[in-house]
Amino acid sequence: MSTGLFYHPIFLEHDTGWGHPERAQRLVTILDEIEKRKDLNNIETVLPDKASIKDIQLNHSDNYIKLIQNTSEIKGIKHLDPDTAVCSKSYESALHACGAVLNAAKSVYEGIYRNAFALVRPPGHHALFSQAMGFCIFNNIAIAAKYLKNVMGLRKVVIIDWDAHHGNGTQDSFYNDPDVLYISLHQFPFYPGTGSANEIGTGIAKGFNVNIPMFAYSGENTYLLAIERIISPIVYQFSPEFILISAGYDGHYKDPLTQLLLTSNTFFKLSKAVIEIANEVCSGRIIFSLEGGYYLKGLSQSVVETLRAMVGYNNPVPYPSEELKERNSSMEIEQIIEIQKRYWKL
């Protein structure tokens, strides 16, 4: 089976204004990099359907959906919050972004593709029930998880979010739901201010929200340690039927918004690790949905490295990089492990 790449040209028409980091050029650069690569022939590009209003209602209020619908009538650019800009094409783009993630999830579950990548914008993981936030309009990955659970009847779903910013919207969507395990690796303290290790869920869902905060200048070694010591054993114990990845690439060491020290090779290793987990626990059912990433060259190379891992390569492309002085964060990882030991065998 091939890997599916879910993309629609409408994503380029979501205009956020001059100088905004979440801009159409992000996808153009990624598509150009994919086009240049001869090692990605086993990828099929798929034009997704747009999500229905009923789909969006799985995670957002009717009043909020109406607010976003009304942006179709605006002229120029309007800000929903200081960071999140929309234009007359943003509503349609957001529906197709959500639809791309839903189509990707359904096609992988039905065995049409071995795995899939939703190359979308606007991103989604900050979007709240009734509020746009942090470049995000509809929470694509949260809607997909609720669709898998509530419509397709899956019992357990895992979301792993490695965007450099904490996915507060996704966390909020499942904070009291023990059937969706949310795991986030993110720079902390940092925007949006949430994501401490002590945010572990509530009620019957205590322990099913796993935050792995990373201090500035944490790098590849700390991320791989977190996969090995925390994420892998917890996901194995949870035993999901599907894994969704909020794939942000703003942890790249040249990203203008963050201070993490990840490389394109790191993203290959992270992708390979979660694919191997999916192969073991849920018959390989995994999709990736694009979130952040604002250094264009690093973003495009890192997405390609994820795609290379998805099609089955065993080693990353050795891009030249600077010598990076990573913070030794093993002590912080041990502290997180102590918190998670209340709920999981680690």
| pLDDT digits (tens), the chain, 346 positions | 899 999 999 999 999 999 999 999 999 999 999 999 988 988 999 999 999 999 999 999 999 999 999 999 999 999 999 999 999 999 999 999 999 999 999 999 999 999 999 999 999 999 999 999 999 999 999 999 999 999 999 999 999 999 999 999 999 999 999 999 999 999 999 999 999 999 999 999 999 999 999 999 999 999 999 999 999 999 999 999 999 999 999 999 999 999 999 999 999 999 999 999 999 999 999 999 999 999 999 999 999 999 999 999 999 998 887 889 999 888 899 999 999 999 999 9
Whether the CB-CB separation of 257 and 294 falls below 8 Å is answered with yes
- Is 37 part of any domain? yes
Q: Within a domain: residue 336?
A: yes
Residue 50 lies in a domain: yes
**Alpha-helix runs per DSSP H in 193-311:** 220-226, 232-238, 264-281, 296-311
Q: State the pLDDT at residue 28.
A: 98
Domain membership flag for residue 345:
no
What local confidence, expressed as pLDDT, does residue 328 receive? 86
300 within domain boundaries: yes
**What's the rounded Cα separation, in Å, for the pair 195 and 176?**
16
pLDDT at 321: 77
Assigned domain for 346 exists: no
Instruction: List the domain range (segments joined by +) for residue 22.
Output: 3-317+324-340
Burial 328-339 (b: 16+ CB within 10 A, else e): ebeebbeebbeb
Instruction: Give residue 269's Cα distance to chain centre.
Output: 16
Q: Is 160 part of a structural domain of the chain?
A: yes
Which CATH number goes with the domain that contains 34? 3.40.800.20
By annotation, the residues acting in catalysis are 126
Q: What is the pLDDT, as a whole number, of residue 195?
A: 98
pLDDT for residue 192: 98
DSSP classification of residue 164: S
Report the domain count for the chain.
1
